[in-house]
Structure formats: structure tokens, C-alpha cells
């Protein structure tokens, strides 16, 4: 408990950051565990957004506040150069055309194909400052938790919930419990936020945060830049969390300043004043606390068919503990292999809402400069947005990747997931900067190993699952 100042002041319960955001957006309590929550921003994409908008219109309802709604094309669009509405995915064009028509009819903001602002929904929202500290934001996509990195309460919903939010700017929510993961100390050189995220899910499990609103804290989290924090929050859904959040700080303020939808002038000053209160009180009580030693985290790579089935690269894959592990071993065709490090790969993929931002592409380009993708490896890079693509090309990153043997694509989700469109081949082993390695995630019978962008780049060059340090070793041996 903490005491407010002044004579006769009553004790006031200390609050977590989530508690504060819940209280500030609570329209009314429905029952002891459920509340009606005001929704500040609604993000939609063409795979489900068009359905929600069309259904709303067919029911004779209007979008309550079109200025709060943003639509992008990302999930089913092709990412091949010269793309249009036609897609490899059957019926993909219908999704695109119907979403465009529904968005235009509703008067909401649309980031269409050909618009520099188009891209993966969880990449474009932060870079446009659609998401801001203290706001509530929903999207029919499970990785909406990405945007909690900026101090917002952002969570994924279904299409029917999207329709309700569009009509009322509210949603009925069962309140999750509070959980905090504190990462003590500093990450070792070469260890990224993706490695940290995989380490956490491998440590506490795929259901380790189920039923919880997760807050990340600690020295290692404060040290991360804003884009790295997005990667960390992005993977919270792989823990089963309702969502994730990080208290905003000066890094977030610097990141947002001057972006298209950020407040300006006096509104900016007022926003800064309100954002200053967005933190968990020092004596706030969490229902579950987990502590992670940053120094214990190394470069990670998944070995199975769930993100929690991941190990530090170079270490042994654990013995099968149950039928799920046995099935994963069989599907991934690792047999009795002691380690996945060294397994030959067929493809390498850089992209997704987890790792397709400019900072990710800079890391990849730094490793690929002057090197070549191994013979027989197909390597693809899909920038997260038109803005990321433009900025990368201004820095010459595209030229570095193309010279190394990577395909340079248009922005979109691409082969992060297979929905009947473009995919990798059956039985192919792919190392990927994406967030999920489920069976058939990147194609029928495709075997996906998820890792950080640096590990993906190094593996592409060496033709096998490898660490970036191995590139330096090979150069040193060649010089010697």
C-alpha cells in the first residue's frame, strides 16, 4: 500500500501499469471479473478486416468513429516485385478487393498497395505513431501484443469482436491477472531481443503466461531500443499471454516524436505529461513474478514445432519428454541428432512482424556484406513496410542483400505463414526470423527453425544452421 499525501489521507492500493490502463478505459464493470473497455484504435488487415467491415455494413451499422480505424494490406498480398491485386493464394484477390471497397465505403484510413505506408500491421502502426503510450488498441491478429512495447494496452481479437469494436468503440473483456518478467543484468554481445524472447518461452513454456497480462521490466529491457522491445513483446502470445507491455521511457518518446500520427504542439506537451504516469508503482503487487538472468541468454534456435521447443545454439536438444516432443522430432526430421546446429538448410527467410524492421535489416546487411549465400539455399528478405523498404534502399541495404544472393521483396507478411499461397517446399528445412514454427507453418511439410536475423543470415551463407561468430572464424582461418 502507498499513502496519498495530506491530513486524513486514505491508503490507496498501489497499481501496476496494466491496472492503471484498465481503470482509465473502464466504461463499467459487467461482473466481478469482466469489464466493458473503451477502445482507442482499431487496426484491420485484408484477411479478416474486410469481413468485419462488410458484415457491419450488411447489418445496417456504421463505423462509430472512422478516424480511429486503420486498414492495411499485408496477410494475403503477394510480395513479389511488380505485384498487384492478383495473388498466388486462391481467393486472395477477393480479400483485397473487398477490403478496399469496404474501407473506402466506411471512410476509414486505408494503407493500400502502392502506398508507401502499406506493410505489416504491427510494423506500420508504431512507425506511423498510430499506437501511443496509454492507448487501447485492438486488431484481429494474435501478435497485436507487439505494440505494448510503446506502453499501450494492445491485444488480439477475433473478427466478430472487431465488428463490435467498430460499431461501439468498446469490448467486453475478462480481466487477466498481472504478471511481470524481470530480466536482470545485461545481454551478452551478439544476443538479441529475439534470442531473449525464445529463451523466455523455452524457460517457462508455451502456456507460462496463460491468463496473464505480462509486463517486461529490468535492466536488460531498459537497454533495448524500441524496435527490439517490439520483438520481445511480439513473442508474448507464444507464452499464452493476454498481451504484453513495457513502461514507456525517453527512448519511446524520442521514437514517436514527429511521426505522422503523433501529437504535435501543445497536444505533444500534454501527452508527455500524461505518459509520465505510465509505470507500475514500486510497491505494486503482481500475481506472478519471474526473473531471468540476462547473462544466461545465448543465441537461440528452435528444434521442434513450437517456439518453446528451442535451445541455445550449439547445445543438445533435450530428450523427448512426451509424445509431443517425439512428434516434433519426427516432423523436423532431427532423429537422434544431439544438436540442430550444423543441420543443412534449404532456405533462409528474413521477415514478419517480429523481425522485419530497419534495425533488423541493418544487422543482416552487416553480416552479408562481401559474402555469398551458399549454393542451393534460397534466401528471401521481405521488409516489414514500404517505409522500411524505402529507408533500407536509401542506405543501400537492398544492394548488399541482392549481391549476396537474397531476393528483395515488397512489404507484407509473405511466407511467415502458409495460407494456400507462396510457400517453401515439402521436406525443406528453413531457418526463419519469424515467430512460429508449427507444422506446415511455412508450407506443407516444411520444417521451420526460428532464430534471430543474425543467425538466419549466417546460416544462409554457410548453408547450415550456424552462428554469426562462425563467419568471423572462417575469415580468420582463410587469412591464416
**pLDDT at position 479:** 37
Q: What is the DSSP letter of 29?
A: E
* pLDDT, position 12: 62
d(CA 479, CA 168): 66
Q: What is the pLDDT of residues 374-383, one digit of tens each?
A: 999 999 999 9
Asked if the model's pLDDT at residue 4 lies above 60, the reply is no
Q: What percent of the chain has pLDDT over 70?
A: 96
CB contact set of 36 (below 8 Å; sequence gap of 6+): 26, 27, 28, 29, 30, 170, 171, 172, 173
CA dist list (Å): 116 to 80, 261, 402 = 16, 15, 21
447-450 and 429-432 beta bridge pairing: parallel
Q: What is the pLDDT of residue 474?
A: 63
**What is the reported pTM?**
0.95
Residue 476, pLDDT > 60, answer no
**Is residue 154 over pLDDT 80?**
yes
> How far apart, in Å, are the Cα atoms of 342 and each of 313, 429, 459, 470?
10, 12, 9, 11
> How do residues 396-451 score in pLDDT, each as one tens digit?
999 999 999 999 999 999 999 887 788 999 999 999 999 999 999 999 999 999 99
Per-residue model confidence as pLDDT tens digits over 207-261: 999 999 999 999 999 999 999 999 999 999 999 999 999 999 999 999 999 999 9
Alpha-carbon distance of 408 to 22, in angstroms, equals 42
Strands (DSSP E) found in 192-232: 212-217
- Mean pLDDT, residues 33-62: 96
Q: How far is CA 472 from the centre of its chain?
A: 30
pLDDT of residue 480: 40
- Give Cα separations from 348 to 98, 251, 357, 373, 450 (angstroms): 33, 32, 17, 9, 10
Kindly give the pairing relationship between strand 2-3 and strand 11-12.
Answer: antiparallel
CA separation for the pair 350, 452 (Å, rounded): 9
Per-residue pLDDT, averaged over 388-402, amounts to 98
Provide the 10 A C-beta neighbour count for residue 109. 16
- Residue 214 sits at φ, ψ, to 5 deg, of -100, 130
The whole-number pLDDT of residue 477 equals 43
- Could you give the CA distance from residue 146 to residue 233 in angstroms, rounded to a whole number? 5
Amino acid at each position: 500500500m502507498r499513502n496519498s499525501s495530506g491530513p486524513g489521507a486514505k491508503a490507496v492500493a498501489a497499481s501496476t501499469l496494466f491496472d492503471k490502463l484498465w481503470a482509465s478505459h473502464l466504461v463499467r464493470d459487467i461482473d466481478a471479473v469482466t469489464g466493458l473497455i473503451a477502445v482507442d484504435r482499431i487496426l484491420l488487415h485484408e484477411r479478416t478486416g474486410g469481413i468485419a467491415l462488410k458484415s457491419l455494413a450488411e447489418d445496417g451499422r456504421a463505423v462509430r468513429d472512422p478516424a480511429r480505424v486503420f486498414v492495411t494490406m499485408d496477410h494475403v498480398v503477394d510480395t513479389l516485385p511488380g505485384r498487384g491485386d492478383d495473388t498466388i493464394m486462391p481467393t486472395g484477390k477477393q480479400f483485397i478487393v473487398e477490403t478496399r471497397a469496404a474501407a473506402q465505403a466506411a471512410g476509414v484510413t486505408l494503407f493500400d498497395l502502392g502506398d508507401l505506408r502499406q506493410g505489416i500491421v504491427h510494423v506500420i502502426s508504431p512507425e506511423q505513431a498510430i499506437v501511443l503510450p496509454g492507448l487501447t488498441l485492438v486488431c484481429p491478429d494474435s501478435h497485436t501484443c507487439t505494440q505494448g512495447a510503446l506502453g499501450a494496452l494492445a491485444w488480439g481479437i477475433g473478427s466478430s469482436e472487431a465488428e463490435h469494436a467498430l460499431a461501439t468503440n468498446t469490448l467486453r473483456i475478462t480481466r487477466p491477472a498481472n504478471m511481470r518478467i524481470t530480466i536482470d543484468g545485461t545481454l551478452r554481445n551478439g544476443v538479441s531481443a529475439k534470442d531473449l524472447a525464445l529463451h523466455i518461452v523455452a524457460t517457462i513454456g508455451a502456456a507460462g503466461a496463460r491468463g496473464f497480462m505480462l509486463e517486461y521490466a529490468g535492466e536488460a529491457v531498459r537497454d533495448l531500443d524500441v524496435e527490439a522491445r517490439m520483438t520481445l513483446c511480439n513473442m508474448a502470445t507464444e507464452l499464452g499471454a493476454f498481451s504484453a507491455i513495457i513502461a514507456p521511457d525517453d527512448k519511446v518518446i524520442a521514437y514517436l516524436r514527429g511521426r505522422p500520427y503523433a501529437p504535435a504542439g501543445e497536444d505533444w506537451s500534454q501527452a508527455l505529461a500524461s505518459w509520465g504516469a505510465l509505470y507500475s508503482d514500486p510497491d505494486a503487487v503482481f500475481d506472478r513474478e519471474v526473473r531471468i538472468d540476462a547473462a544466461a541468454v545465448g543465441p537461440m534456435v528452435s528444434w521442434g514445432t513450437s517456439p518453446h521447443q528451442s535451445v541455445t545454439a550449439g547445445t543438445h536438444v533435450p530428450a523427448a519428454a512426451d509424445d509431443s516432443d517425439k512428434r516434433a522430432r519426427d516432423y523436423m526430421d532431427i532423429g537422434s541428432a544431439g544438436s540442430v546446429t550444423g543441420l543443412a538448410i534449404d532456405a533462409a527467410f528474413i521477415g514478419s512482424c517480429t523481425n522485419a524492421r530497419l534495425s533488423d535489416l541493418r544487422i543482416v546487411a552487416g553480416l552479408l556484406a562481401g559474402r555469398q549465400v551458399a549454393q542451393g539455399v534460397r534466401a528471401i528478405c521481405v521488409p516489414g513496410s514500404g517505409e522500411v523498404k524505402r529507408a533500407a534502399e536509401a542506405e543501400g541495404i537492398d544492394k548488399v542483400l541482392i549481391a549476396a544472393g537474397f531476393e528483395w521483396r515488397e512489404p507484407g507478411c509473405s511466407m511467415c505463414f502458409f495460407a494456400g499461397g507462396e510457400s517453401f517446399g515439402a521436406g525443406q528445412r528453413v531457418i526463419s526470423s519469424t515467430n512460429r514454427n508449427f507444422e506446415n507453418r511455412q508450407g506443407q511439410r516444411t520444417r521451420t527453425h526460428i532464430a534471430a536475423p543474425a543467425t538466419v543470415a549466417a546460416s544462409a551463407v554457410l548453408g547450415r544452421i550456424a552462428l554469426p561468430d562462425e563467419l568471423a572464424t572462417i575469415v580468420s582461418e582463410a587469412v591464416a
